[in-house]
Every structure is written in C-alpha cells, then in structure tokens.
Structure 1
Amino acid sequence: MPEYSIIGKSVQRVDGPRKVSGQAQYAADLNIPGALCLKVLRSKVAHALVKEINVSEALKVPGVVQIFTHADIPGINSYGIIIKDQPALTNKVRFKGDAIALVAAQDEASAIIALSLIEVTLEELPPIYDVKAAMREDAPAIHDRGNSISAYRVKKGDVESALKQAEVIITGSYTTQRIEHCYIETEAGVAYMDNDLLVIKAGTQNPHYDRRDVARVLGLPMNKVRIIQTTTGGGFGGKLDISVQCFLGLAALKLGRPVKIAYDRHESFISTGKRHPFYIDYTTAADKEGKLSAVKVRIVGDTGAYASYGPATLLRAAVHATGPYEVPNVDIEASCVYTNNPFSGAMRGFGTPQMAFACESQMDLVAQAVNISPVEMRRRNIFQKGAVTATQQKLDASIGIGKTLEAAWEKALQVMPGLGDENI
C-alpha cells in the first residue's frame, strides 16, 4: 500500500479548534453597533392577491424606522437558483409564509409590534395542495407559466415487450413526505454599506449565487455586492436558497445603515425549502430467477410554491430510479409541479433517497415473489463491470458495489451470528 499524507490519516479539521472552543462566530453571533432589527411579515393564507398594504399605523410605533413592500424593490423582484420565480417581497401569495413586508426598527420589540399593525387586504384564491389536482388542465395557475414546471424521460430498450414476456411483475405505489432540514442554526445575517459597496454576511451554502440574485433584486452591478459566508451551522442543502440575503440588502441599501436579521425556529420552519414529497408508481419485471428485465416508473415531485432546485431534483430522480441495478428495458417519467405548499428545494441525496425507498422496496417484493433472499436478489442484479445504466452509460471501471454488499453482509453476520439469507 502506498503511503499517503492525508488518506488513512487522522487529520485535524481546519475549523475544528474554533468551533469546539466557542470562538467561531455564526451569523446570529454577529453584532454591529447601531444595527437595525429586521422582521418579516408573512402570509397566513396559502394563495391570494395582495390588494393593499397599509403601514400607516405601524410606522407610528416608536423605534420603527421604515417598512418595505414589493413596491420598494429597486431591481427585478424575482430570484431563484434555476427559475427566477420567487419574489423577495410579494404581491401574490403562493404559500403560507410568503413574505409581504419587511420592518426595520431600532429594536426587536418595536419591530414585532409594527408587524401586528400592518394591514394587508387580500383577495384569496383557491389553494392547491395536491400535485395531481395541480396538474389538471382546469387547475388555477399558481404561476403564469402554469403549474407543471418540467418533465424528464429516460428510455432504454422496449419496456412494453419486456412486460408482456415477464414471468414476474410487481407494481407498487409509493409516497414520501416533506422533510425539514432542521439544522440547529436558523437563518441569520447582517449587512452594511462600505462606501458604495453592499456587504452581506450570512449563513449560506451558496455565496456566489446569492451575490447574483441580490444584485438582480436590488438593481446593482455585481461588483457592488459582496457576500461573505459566515461559519455555517448546518445546511444539508437547505441554505443553498436565498433566505435573509435580499431582506438584508434591501434595508441596508435603502437606509444606509447596518441591519441584522435572525429567524426564530417557527419562521425557519414555515419559510424555507424542504425535501420534495414524491408520488411514485413503480412497476418491476423479472424472470423466475429474479433477474430484472424491465422497470417502468412514473414520478411526480411537489416543488411547492417556487421551483428552487425542483427541476434538477426530478431529473436526478429519473436518472437514479433504477438504483444500482442493471435493467435492460427502462421507461421513466419524472415531473416537477407547483402547488401552494411550502417550497421544496435541495436536501441531501437530491431526489435519490425518495427513489431508493421505492426501488429497494420493489426489489424486496420481487425477491419474495421468486422465493430468494433480498440479499441474493441484489447479488443477481447489481452493476458489474461492463454494465449499462438506465441512461446508457457503460460502467467500465470502479464498480465497487458488489464488494460493498458482501462486506456489509459479512458485518451483519458478525453482529447477528444467527442471521442467514433466509431471514432477510
């Protein structure tokens, strides 16, 4: 074995000492003398047009400096990692938690009182919480583009012929839930003007994309916006989207004063991206020995009110729908759909965990139908060198899943000596 300087060694994390000693400063730890407190007024209904926003009484609260609405956005009031469909402050509500107004005040208590005094007149619209309802032709449009965002198709071979010839066919329907990342650190940040340069310090996974979208919303050239990623206390994909950045930038730019915002847990829950719920219809065909012959899958992903990473997540779902198994005939469709649910975005696995749940469940059911163990079922179908994936990529190197499967099985037998294939 060659000697490596890092691989196989215990290496101290660069950020380790500062974190364990408490010296690391997370976004909410940052304090700038004289910084104004920002609070967001969020919708309590899921779908509505904002007809009027009356801030006159809220502005009378001692300590309130300014209240911003969609009319105060100086640039293009839309951002998004793939599709620019999410406003910083909206005049059309698309989910419970959508941002309607932003209060800047001397202190948190004044900002909270002001939120309660803002009067918003809404014209409520029928909400759509079910993706299948959202896909109907007569469904109310959540966005001007309609409710269907994207659709992907992966095809290989002739599935229909394979299904007719199959000795075993297993069909299942699977649903997965919406999941909150629930990182310990909620969204927070500060912003200030450094002469004519807007500086935003925030917990983020995406400072370069943040810079682009903040500049767009505020109508600034990119060289007038600087995003500094603070020590970030967990993200898991959930801090890839814009959260506090546009609010901080708008207030600092308009007021010329430093500002700070920090979400509480409730606000973090209701306003940030989630893991996509999937609705999956999955058909698997095999011979009587358990060898896979065809897979047909239909996937619908609920991306909620805004696209975020939805199109890319559904693309990955389609690509990985057959799991680590060689299937000669494949027909997969994956659709991404708007609803009035909280928006869904990136979360670890990026569409693959949902598909693994469905795919591996199908593998177990096929194993049961042909009377072999689930372990043996996988042995007979996992990728080997030379295998061709659903997207017709030939795997000619680094095919380690067989060794991984056997090593995991050996470890399981060590932990539970009485375990046998027939018990799995």
Structure 2
Amino acid sequence: MLRTIDLRGTTLSSAELLALVPRAVTDVTAALGTAAGLIQDVREQGEHALLDQSERFDRVRPAALRVPAAELAAAEAALADDVRAAIRSAIERVRAASEAQVPPARRTELAPGAVVEQRWQPVARVGLYVPGGKAVYPSSVVMNVVPAQVAGVGSIALCSPPQAAFGGSVHPTVLAAAALLGIDEVYAMGGAGAIGAFAYGVPGIGLEPVSMVTGPGNVFVAAAKRAVQGVVGIDAEAGPTDILVIADAGANADFVAADLVSQAEHDELAASVLVTDSAEFAAAVDARVEARATATAHSERVRTAMTGPQSAIVLVDDLPQAARFANAFGAEHLEIQTSDPDAVLAGIESAGAIFLGPYSPVSLGDYAAGSNHVLPTGGASRFSSGLSASTFLRPQQIVRYEEEGLAGVAPAIAALSAEEDLPAHGEAVTARFA
C-alpha cells in the first residue's frame, strides 16, 4: 500500500534529503488571497460577514455568534461521566507538564550597582481556535487553554466552527470542555473569518481584539494566520498532521502499522512515514497497514492518505541514516521503536514531539500523556516548537543601574557611540556626570 523510497547505499547532502522528503500537496500561499478577502469582509461588515461565511462554508447560520453562558453550562451538565473524567484527567496532566514550561525570573548582577533582570510576562489576551471538520476536538480545547492559563493569560476567548447538527452552535463536547476549564467567552465561528475576527475584533458582538491566536485548522486557517501575523502573534501555520516512525527489525509490526493508520485517520492529506533498516520488517508493516486500513471505520480516508505522495516507507542502511532523514523530514510526531531508542534519540534534532518505545504511541500524546498535541507540521519542527506555556510568555529585560554601575561602563558607551557616529548616545551618559 505504501510506496517505497530506497536510500540504501546512498550518501546524500541535506539539500538532497530535503528534496526526497514526502509531503502533502498543500499550498498556503495559494489560499492566502481567499483568506485575506474573508478577513477583510469581517473587518468591514463584522458579525454579518461571519454569519454569511458560516452559511456559505458550514451550511448553517448561527442564531448567535457568541455562545450563551446557559448553553455552556447545559453542555457541561450533559457530559457523559466517562468523558468528563477523561477530560479532567487530561487537564490535570497537561497542567502539570505545562507548569514545568514557565521559566523562572532571573537576576544578574554584572557589577556593583549594575543589575539586569529577566522576567516572563504573559500576553494580555488570546484567541484559541478549535477545529471542527472531520472530527470533534475537546482535547484541542484542553491543549490550547491549559498552557495559556498556566502562563497567566488574563483574557481567553475560544472559537470553533458552527455545527449544522447542533443548530449552528459549537459541538456540545467542545463547549463542555471549555466550561470545565472556566472559559465563558466562546464563539460559533470558523475558518479564515474567525482568525480575522480575533485579530481585529468585532464590536457588534463584543469581541475585543486579541494579542495572539493559536490552534490548528485547515489550509485557509493557516493562510489567515499568515495574513494577520504582525497584527497579532501566532503559534504556527498548522497544516495536515504527520507521523514518522523509526523502527528496526525488533519492533512490533502491528504496533507500528496501528500508529501509522491512527494519524492517517485525521485527513486525506495526513502523512504516515516509516523509516527502517529492515526490508523484511517494512514488508510486514505494509501488510498490517493494508489489513488495518481495510478494517478501520474511516477506511476510505486512511487509504487516500496512505497512498498519497506524503506517505511512504523509507529504507535506510542503518539507524544513524534514519535519524538524518528524520531531521530533514522535521516530523510533527516522531516515534522511535528500536532496541535502543535513546541511542537513536541522541541523533535527533528536529521533531515536534518524540515518543519512545512500543508503549508510547502518538495517540497517547493526543489525549493523556500530559504533553501538548498542538505541534508544528509540514516540516516546521526544523525551526519551531509545539504549543506550550512559554508560547504565551514574552521575555522582558529590566535594567537597574545605579550611578556607580553606569560610571563603570560610561567610557565604553562613549567609545561605541562615537564609532557609530551617534554622539548624542554617549552624551546622554556623560551628561549625568558633568
């Protein structure tokens, strides 16, 4: 089922590896014009544009864009006990792991009377996007909200596309998760228009602009985030999900196949990649993928993803070569199922989240590991990281110099300001000692 890329016997440069990396055929740039137009409509027409866009794209016109508090409470009250317990458990685990992501304040004394302090200040207000396409994502509510709360963000708004099955409101399980987290500002809006609404505000519904937008979405959401970046901060331009598994002959072929299929279930553009130094193991995994793809509930979606250009089996000479390929791929989710996972891990530089051993599947991270599942896609882990409490924090330097401290560096300032032909800079210092 999966196509094969055979790298055995080759020595490739970084550029050559990048050229061989399997990718989904998506183009955020191509969607940018459409996204910008939808955002402009929201800026000019406010809630009327959002309602029209909902009718056009979600096939339903919400009765109200802001979800009433009573509806949030009702959704929380109606939540099944097992789902409630699962969400609460996820909240506790993600909160504990997120608390470790908040850097401590630091004070550095460079000389007597010369101190620089470092503090981490949360952004004032965030808009969190929870997708609502082929699946329901209460877990994404947890993954977005909890790190923002841990960071100390004072104002949190959340949106998710309106659902025709629920009269144009947000899916009740998403509402229940928001209510369990104490979020009462929730909007039934989605797509590029929702990102624009967060960035610029919608006075007619009392939606104030945010400082940062986070959360995954489709290509138009990614394009909208690119369009508003600079007006607001963003986490990343999330695209189709991906998984890369490094495995050797000792791994369990059915475990690996199950994990590859689990990510293909998300979307027809999802990428599932196995990298192995064993052709026999590769064949065993491919056979199990075929069987699981046939039997799973979303078989057609899985088959489309698995047979797309973004999915493959990559054969390598050894595990160090596997690690080099993984670094070029820049996986959102990287699993290492080898006899010595830590030895392979030592060679890994790029990955959104890393799962070690046969009992750390990606779906563990999706729900209950305590790690965050909002991660960089499309190779972006080569230069960016997943969502965390630190995403919502800004490092600020506080300078505390007394007369003695300033006098100690005054000659250096004078020399550098003269060299740069900015004499007034030096004079601002020497004036204090005239």
TM normalised by structure 1 equals: 0.21
Structure in which a larger fraction of residues adopt helix: 2
Structure in which a larger fraction of residues adopt strand: 1
TM normalised by structure 2 equals: 0.20
